[in-house]
Chains A and B, each alone.
Chain A
Amino acid sequence: MIFSTHDVHPRERLSYWLEVATRGYVEHDFRAADASAFSGSVEVTTLPGVGLAKFSASPARVGRSARSAGRTDNGDVLLGLQLSGEATISQDGNDALIRGRGMYLLDSLRPFEINLHAFSRSIVARFPRAVLEARVGNLAGLAARPITTASGVGNLAMGFMELLPDLAEEFDDVAGLKVAEQMLDLAAIALTTERGRGAAMSSPRAVALMRLKATIERLLIEPGLKPVRVATEAGISVRYANDLLGDEGTSIERCIADRRLERCRMALDETVHAHRSIGEIAFNWGFSDLSHFGRRFKQRYGMTPTDYRSQKTRHRDDPETTQSCLQLPDMRARSKPEPPQAQARKPAGHEIA
């Protein structure tokens, strides 16, 4: 089944899209960066137990709010394969910037955000969490951790998944069942291989850390947020929380500040927020002192928020420089641990994801 905005009158494209793309998928909000120029298509197929959707869409923000995640249906997980384009995938305090090809996991039980920065094509598989949990154990810490083309198994899993939407209809029932199992097995190998590279963490700690980060993310917007409130909400002690974050060289307070900065920076990147003042954005993300915000921002990203925004806007308006714009200091990319410019100034242990 294919839905495309192609034959729809430009004025109606976005509403048509909201109608088709939101339906039959996990409930989410969709905001196009430029509603008047929006175009997209989605092609839906299935394998036994696995839903497959092949998307292409103009820049937009796809968000699943805490409210809709809380009301959820069935706790399916989403395995995304970006074929082309550029997007930031955020969940549990991890932000994965994927340029071109890459794979990621999202858990529909918790809020997430997908920011499509450019026209992107992707395939999203949806399946019950139990089938993946059986293969990789707890999913904690796997969400929004990108699998890149640097991973051999990752490439195989991606290549395999890419073949499926066009072939799915042709499989008979036995073949379909087998192929679905194989896709899940391959994805599981890719996910665990990637995880194996990181520090091995025992399950209870990983779960606690994930819950802690998700809690921080949810509470960021509260001005005057205290570590003790975060810890209480996450159901652990402040001491244990700091101990968990200590493994990543950070602390509750540092983590809160870093995530707020990061959120503001992302908002400054986006055209949808162009009409908002910098102060408003900072206050919205829980900063209560604008000059304090400005100082920390500069320290972290090497320029003031105003400079940052105008530089972004200038680059965006001038297609010739799009490439160099992408080279801006970028703390979002987990897969790129060495951001170019702000490197020297960034405080130790800035990387919270």
Chain B
Amino acid sequence: MIYSTQDVHPREKLSYWVEVATRGYVEHDSRPQDRQAFTGNVAITSLPGLGLSVFEADAHQVHRSSRQTAHEESGDLLLSAVCDGAVSLFQDGRECLIEGKGLYLVDPTRPFELTLRRRSSHIIVKIPRALLEARIGGASEFTGRPLLTAGGLGPLVMGFLELLPAQAEAIDHASGMKVAEQLLDLVALALCSAVEKSPALSSPRANALLRFKATAERLLIEPGLKPERVAQESGISVRYANSLLAEEGMSIERYVAERRLERCRSALEDAGQVHRSIGEIAFKWGFSDLSHFGRRFKTRYGMTPTEYRHQWQCMSTGGALSPPRRLVSEPETT
């Protein structure tokens, strides 16, 4: 959906803009630098669970007052990528200035002030608060800060975001869910590395835990994977790894089993993989005993893999738009 001030009478351009910008964004006051010449356009699209808008507008100031935030129950956070422009953002007592490309996070439940110093283009991702906070902890540490740091992940997130608006419509729902999940993981990683902060743990431990988890993910497919091997590959001792995981009520073995189950479960949901037998999926994700897999699956998800797949297929062919699956699948500690 594209909204543009182009065909709007000059006198009405501004009110039209405030109307559409509010729709793609949140309620705010808008003060253009040049009221007469102001132009802007917004294209709105989405991925499952995420809103995507591409804004292009002349210099103006956006102000969201405490009055406007007061009757705001929006659970969304706004991740903004400046593709090209000059922007300054003030929120939570911090100010960040962006010239050229940049990334910042806005929490619309608190007042903020955003100034576009010249014509700027933005990609804004509306993310349900719970989804992002599950990955990065409280959002208040990330607002009002420049989040695109030199090197690695920031540029990758920017690049990925720039690809999305053009493709979002062409992606089917099931793939879209996976892409949305990937985007969130990537964003979370980039945000944490930008402010050098990690979720609930202090830094060296958090870092070791992240490295451990990423390593485990890579090794899941090895049948007969031993805790020693995962620990060794991530450069820590089994004991230390278990103590890190204990804070999440986990152990190496439990964690590996949990991730394997999750991988199998998502394969069973995938229409592109219906031709694969359940046994093959389980073996490829490192299970070596099918009846053991079946038991653990049932304990974890309350039904057998066959039932799960069947139910999922009925649901997706029945046209249910949003299957009852959480976008974030946090391991439940049982």
**Partner-B contacts on A (CB < 8 A):** 48-49, 130-131, 133-138, 151-153, 155-156, 159-160, 163-164, 167, 170-175, 177-182, 185-186, 189, 192-193, 195-196, 200-203, 206
Contact = CB atoms under 8 A, between A and B. Distances in A.
A137 B167 contact: no
A152 B160 CA distance: 13
Contact of A152 (B153, B159, B167): B167
Interface size range of chain B in the complex = 35 or more
A195 B273 CA distance: 9
A186 to B, nearest CB: 7
Contact of A178 (B151, B179, B189): B189
Contacts of B152: 167, 170-172, 175
Contacts of B189: 174-175, 178
B281 A159 contact: no
A172 B190 CA distance: 11
Given A137-B281, A156-B167, A167-B152, A189 B175 contact: yes
Among B156, B159, B189, B277, find the residue whose CB has the most chain A CB atoms closer than 10 A: B156
Given A151-B170, A177-B217, A203 B276 contact: yes
Interface string B198-228: 0000000001001100110110110000000
B275 interface: yes
B290 interface: no
Interface in B161-218: 163-164, 166-172, 175, 178-179, 182, 185-186, 189, 193, 207, 210-211, 214-215, 217-218
Interface of B: 151-153, 155-156, 159-160, 163-164, 166-172, 175, 178-179, 182, 185-186, 189, 193, 207, 210-211, 214-215, 217-218, 220-221, 263, 267, 270-277, 280-281, 284-286
Given A160-B160, A171-B152, A172-B152, A130 B221 contact: yes
Contacts of A130: 221, 284
A25 B134 CA distance: 41
A83 to B, nearest CB: 14
Given A136-B273, A137-B284, A152-B167, A174 B179 contact: no
Given A134-B263, A203-B280, 5 more contacts: A134-B286, A175-B152, A177-B215, A189-B272, A201-B275
B178 A189 contact: yes
Given A155-B163, A167-B155, A171-B152, A186 B182 contact: yes
